[in-house]
Amino acid sequence: MNYDFRYTVSRRGFLAAVAGAAISASMRTAVASAIDERQIKVAPGETRFSGADGPPTAVWTYNGSVPGPALRLRQGQPVRITVENGLDEGTTVHWHGIRLPNAMDGVPGLTQPPIRPGESFVYEFTPPDAGTFWYHPHADSLVQIGRGLAGPLIIEEAEPVAVDRDLLWLLQDWRLTKDGRIAGGFGSMMDASMSGRVGNLVTVNGQAQGGQSVRAGERLRLRLANASLARMMALRFEGHWPVVLAIDGQPCDPHEPEDGRLVLAPAMRIDIALDMQGDPGSRHDVIDDFYDGLAYRLTTLAYDKAPPLRAHPLDAPQALPRNSLPEPDLANAVRQEIVLQGGMMGGGKLARVGGMTGMGMPGMNGGAAWAINGMSMTGDGHAGMAPQFMLERGASCHLTMRNETAWWHPMHVHGFSLSVLSRNGSPVPHRQWQDTVLLAPRDVIECAFVADNPGDWMLHCHVADHQMAGLMTVFRVT
Ligand code: C2O
Ligand code: CU
Ligand code: CU
């Protein structure tokens, strides 16, 4: 998969020019609100991580490819996506980060029955926010995402953003056997109670090798999405100074990341502006050094020999236009607290957590190893999950998340974007909104949102093993 949107952008620019010149305003409205129809077929398939000549690996695919096709939709334009299930087990599609009607959220049991083998489900929604999102199954998630099901979801701004190219890297982490097959053993107690199923091969848009070709002087918008089950990443662009434009699809105040490292936990997205300031013909590594002592080269920026695209560097990148998110009223907000508990502690002991609801003993396959506020909801979502708390529609919620475990957790909320207020008592700068907030061991995060969207919504760790083993809850907006 090569997600280079140069041509899409220029075609759109062309269409816009034609529309402006020849089509009346009413016709333009009709064009904008026409329903965009898409088809996705979920089915087993094959991919080659090391290029056309490499060995094949059996995977599960959306429309035959890994990752799935990049869905590029328009902000405010209704879309209808028909998903056909060609697997031997039930599935759903969750449109991660999109603020949509609850019935379209793709959580089995909670918002829809799983799509049975051979059947289809039609998802209909109108994406309210422009930005970088992704889609993935929410049924048997650990196995289904681990076998490759994930795809990028781009919601275009109304006006094209001023960059030379718009690129996307969807990052996936695979645990492969020596002979290159996807390893079994999903949901082992070791993975579930510790770091989750971290793999041994990381791909960029489905490819393990090969670099990103670039041209000196150009400015890229690079959309990074971590679609791994469990691998945290911290990307460093050697010799380059990325500027963060958006986190989890939501524009923030443009800023250089701390220490030049882009920390990207599972399910997180970061959009950067990247000015190609290297020399023609030069090569620069992109390193992931999240885990101490385990740094590796993710990919390489490979400059072609062409002379720089422009003689002088560009001015600092502009902020992206903000989406219209409802601003929480902190003075009158309802306070809720989520405490993350469990997991392996020092000395190889599982922390004791109350109210285990999983089957079997804590930490056994399919059982609970984690809890939220003393309660473990295991699996992927199912009928009869009692909400942890209720919010009245329109209320502002001030949510504190407290990590009492010894592990990292990217906590994800469905249906909303959270205004991130503070981390361990220090204000979070750059006016950030996120749907997935990474908590380091012992971190305390404060965030806020307006409960403007009714329904039962998931709140869970996006390390798939952690979610399956109890780090999940539900809240209700009435
Ligand atoms: Cu990315 Cu509950 O999901
Ligand atoms: Cu989600
Ligand atoms: Cu976790």
Residue 322 belongs to a domain = no
Q: Read off the pTM.
A: 0.92
The verdict on the CB of residue 269 being under 6 Å from ligand 1 is no
Are both 198 and 263 inside the same structural domain?
A: yes
pLDDT of residue 446: 98
pLDDT of residue 363: 42
pLDDT of residue 468: 94
Q: How far is the CA of 137 from the centre of ligand 2 (A)?
A: 10
Name residues of the chain where pLDDT drops below 70: 1-33, 352-366
Q: How far is the CA of 97 from the centre of ligand 1 (A)?
A: 8
**458 CA: nearest ligand 1 atom:** 2
Residue 78 belongs to a domain = yes
Range of the domain at 21: 11-156
Which ligand lies nearest the alpha carbon of 193? 3
Q: How far is the CA of 440 from the centre of ligand 3 (A)?
A: 10
Residue 336 belongs to a domain = yes
The verdict on the CB of residue 72 being under 6 Å from ligand 1 is no
CATH of the domain at 62: 2.60.40.420
In single-letter form, the type of residue at position 194 comes to: M
Q: How far is the CA of 226 from the centre of ligand 2 (A)?
A: 13
Q: Would you give the distance in Å from CA 397 to the centre of its chain?
A: 23
Which of 146, 152, 149 is CA-nearest to residue 199? 146
pLDDT of residue 380: 85
Last residue of a domain, one of 104, 126, 156: 156
The verdict on the CB of residue 414 being under 6 Å from ligand 1 is yes
Are both 140 and 201 inside the same structural domain?
A: no
The verdict on the CB of residue 460 being under 6 Å from ligand 1 is yes
Are both 139 and 256 inside the same structural domain?
A: no
The verdict on the CB of residue 412 being under 6 Å from ligand 1 is yes
Q: How far is the CA of 65 from the centre of ligand 3 (A)?
A: 28
pLDDT of residue 420: 98
pLDDT of residue 324: 95
> SS3 sequence, the chain?
CCCECHHHHHHHHHHHHHHHHHCCHHHHHHHHHCCEEEEEEEEEEEECCCCCCCCCEEEEEECCECCCCCEEEECCCCEEEEEEECCCCCECCEEECCCCCHHHCCCECCCECCECCCCEEEEEECCCCCEEEEEECCCCHHHHHHCCCCEEEEEECCCCCCCCEEEEEEEEEECECCCCCECCCCCCHHHHHCCCCCCCEEEECCECCCCEEECCCCEEEEEEEECCCCCCEEEEECCCCCEEEEECCEEEEEECCHHHCEEECCCCEEEEEEECCCCCCCEEEEEECCCCCCCEEEEEEEECCCCCCCCCCCCCCCCCCCCCCCCCCHHHCEEEEEEEEECEEHHHEECCCCCCCCCCCCCCCCCCCEEECCECCCCCCCCCCCCCEEECCCCEEEEEEEECCCCCEEEEECCCCEEEEEECCEECCCCCEECEEEECCCCEEEEEEECCCCEEEEEEECCHHHHHCCCEEEEEEC
Which ligand lies nearest the alpha carbon of 439? 3
The verdict on the CB of residue 276 being under 6 Å from ligand 1 is no
Residue 459 belongs to a domain = yes
Are both 208 and 240 inside the same structural domain?
A: yes
Last residue of a domain, one of 139, 156, 173: 156
Q: Which residue's CA is the closest to the ligand 1 atom numbered 1?
A: 96
pLDDT of residue 15: 39
Residue 132 belongs to a domain = yes
The verdict on the CB of residue 94 being under 6 Å from ligand 1 is yes
Residue 363 belongs to a domain = yes
Residue 84 belongs to a domain = yes
pLDDT of residue 386: 86
pLDDT of residue 20: 39
Cα(225)–Cα(235) distance, rounded to whole angstroms? 12
**134 CA: nearest ligand 1 atom:** 1
Tally of domains in the chain: 3
Residue 317 belongs to a domain = no
pLDDT of residue 23: 44
